Amino acid sequence: MGLVLGIESSCDETAAALVTTDRRIVAQRIASQEAEHAPYGGVVPEIAARAHAERLAPMIDAVLSESGVELRDLDAIAATAGPGLIGGVMVGLVTGKALAMASDVPLLAINHLEGHALSPRLADPDLAFPYILLLVSGGHCQILRVEGVGRYRRHATTIDDALGEAFDKTAKILGLGYPGGPAVERLAREGDSTAVPLPRPLKGSAEPHFSFAGLKSAVLRAHESGRYSAADIAASFQQAAIDCVLDRLTRALDTLEQAPALVVAGGVAANQAMRGALETLAVDREMRFVAPPLALCTDNAAMIAWAGCERLPLHAGDPLDFRARPRWPLDPEAQPVRGAGVKA
Ligand SMILES: Nc1ncnc2c1ncn2[C@@H]1O[C@H](COP(=O)(O)OP(=O)(O)OP(=O)(O)O)[C@@H](O)[C@H]1O
Ligand SMILES: [Mg+2]
């Protein structure tokens, strides 16, 4: 059995975790920077990097000492090496490199998106490859076929905003503060999802890509019109987002090579209404539906440690001069999408 230390610092969560190759989370700590960024309505990269630098080393100490584990007991140190905010990624990666060098333990430079993509397998030992993955987070909205560790085929992506970003911007428009996803979900429970006419961008289009910028603008116009309550806008937005996801996913499932399971991961996978809608779609398609527990959806270090566990048998470790990658697509073969901006 192997033991891996995971380090996460790509956005606004500082996290460390110890995970075994037989799927036990031995210890984990996570510190959100919500309070630091809240006054600005979003993540400020410099503040994030500084907060990671202050918190990470004591956090790793705590995780190791509460488990009675020494660095030399580890089989690998897995640190997020991208994609994300470069300052924060560098803090975590440099920390991982220093610990690896000092203890002569291999370093695994982990793609944060691979952490999300494999996280459902940490919680569910029965989830085998291949599976169809809807990856919906703060920075990404993709449909992938996960064929094995390191083997990801991207079938769809967003041509503008990510879904989590659309939730966050809706929250900002409605004055719900940051982070927005959970606040929109809470308020949506009190509203009428049919009250506000909102668009379903790209619905029915041939390729299964996503677009949320037009939906966000429509939310802004609805709010400025003064005709709708915040709860009705939140509920109508959430329903429009779910409708878009179901339409695009159905399109993808109709066209791509089949797989036994439909899996959702990333921060927006924490949304209960989204989970319910996806489960119904999976049942209709006679697929198994798998969603990780809520704590594994948003950023955490257990998923990074687990990606390290999955990578352990594949190679001896990454070089200590591995460079942080602010952009790092899961599928390097994926072509840019027509009409897409820099996030393709
Ligand atoms: N209950 C929820 N409903 C909808 N969205 C949610 C919910 N909980 C979290 N989110 C959204 O998930 C996003 C955060 O997810 P995550 O931490 O995976 O993203 P990230 O790490 O910032 O981006 P990426 O993983 O693409 O680099 C935020 O946009 C947040 O609003
Ligand atoms: Mg993330």
Q: What is the CATH number of the domain that holds 275?
A: 3.30.420.40
* Centre of ligand 1 from the C-alpha of residue 272, in Å: 13
Residues 202 and 81 in one domain: no
326 part of a folded domain: no
In a domain, 320, yes or no: no
Closest listed ligand to the CA of 294? 1
Structure tokens at 227: 């005709």
What is the pLDDT, as a whole number, of residue 178?
A: 79
Q: Which residues surround ligand 2, an ion (CB under 5 A)?
A: 137, 299
Q: Do 153 and 269 fall into the same domain?
A: yes
Within this chain, do residues 172 and 306 fall inside the same structural domain, yes or no? no
What's the confidence (pLDDT) of residue 343?
Answer: 46
Considering the domain boundaries, does residue 108 fall inside one? yes
11 and 109 housed in the same domain: yes
Which residues sit opposite 3 in a β-bridge? 20
Same domain membership, residue 102 and residue 30: yes
How many Å lie between the centroid of ligand 1 and the Cα of residue 48?
16
How many domains is the chain partitioned into structurally?
2
Query: From atom 31 of ligand 1, which residue's Cα is the shortest distance away?
Result: 181
Within 6 A (CB) of ligand 1 lie: 10-11, 84, 112, 116, 137-140, 164-165, 167-168, 179-182, 185, 266-268, 270-271, 298-299
Residue whose Cα lies nearest atom 25 of ligand 1: it is: 137
pLDDT at 156: 97
Give the C-alpha separation, 20 to 8, whole Å: 17
Q: Using DSSP bridges, classify how beta strands 13-20 and 3-8 pair: parallel, antiparallel or unpaired.
A: antiparallel
Examine residue 15 and state whether it is found in any structural domain, yes or no.
yes
pLDDT at 62: 98
Q: Whose CA is nearest to atom 4 of ligand 1?
A: 181
User: Would residue 317 count as lying in a domain?
Assistant: no
Concatenated DSSP letters for 236-250?
HHHHHHHHHHHHHHH
User: Domain containing 64: what range?
Assistant: 3-117+296-311
73 and 201 belong to one structural domain:
no
| Co-location of 44 and 78 in the same domain | yes
Kind of pairing between the strands at 107-111 and 151-156? unpaired
Distances (CA, A) of 215 to 161, 197, 201, 236: 10, 10, 7, 11
Residues 194 and 272 in one domain: yes
Residue 318 included in any domain: no
Residues 97 and 244 in one domain: no
Residue nearest to atom 26 of ligand 1 (CA): 139
Distance (Å) from CA 86 to ligand 1 centroid: 18
143 contacts 155 by C-beta, under 8 angstroms: yes
Distance 199 CA to ligand 2 centre (A): 27
Is residue 20 within 8 Å of residue 304, measured between CB atoms?
Answer: no
One domain, residues 66 and 91:
yes
Say if 335 falls within a structural domain: no
Q: Which residues contact 342 (CB under 8 A, 6 or more apart)?
A: none
Residues 6+ apart with CB under 8 A from 234: 170, 174, 176, 184, 187, 188, 191
Note whether 158 and 215 are same-domain residues.
yes
Nearest ligand to the CA atom of 330: 1
Q: What is the mean pLDDT of each run of 10 residues along the chain (344 residues)?
A: 97 97 98 90 92 98 98 98 98 98 98 98 98 97 98 97 96 91 98 98 97 98 98 98 98 94 98 98 98 97 98 95 97 84 48
Cα angle for residues 283, 285, 290 (degrees, 5° grid): 55
Strand order in the sheet with 76-82: 25-32, 13-20, 3-8, 76-82, 107-111
pLDDT for 38: 84
* Whether 23 and 133 share a structural domain: no
Greatest distance between any 2 Cα atoms in the chain: 63
Which of 37, 173, 187, 268 should be mutated for ligand 1, with most atoms under 8 A from CB?
268
Query: Is residue 301 classed as helix, strand or coil in its secondary structure?
Result: coil
CB count in 10 Å sphere of residue 341: 12
Q: Whose CA is nearest to atom 15 of ligand 1?
A: 267
Of 242, 230, 252, nearest to 184 by C-alpha is 230
Identify whether 191 is part of a domain: yes
Residue 272 CA to its chain's centroid (Å): 16
**Closest ligand to Cα 142:** 1
Q: What is the DSSP string of 25-91?
A: EEEEEEEE-HHHHGGGTS--HHHHHHHHHHHHHHHHHHHHHHHT--GGG-SEEEEEEESS-HHHHHH
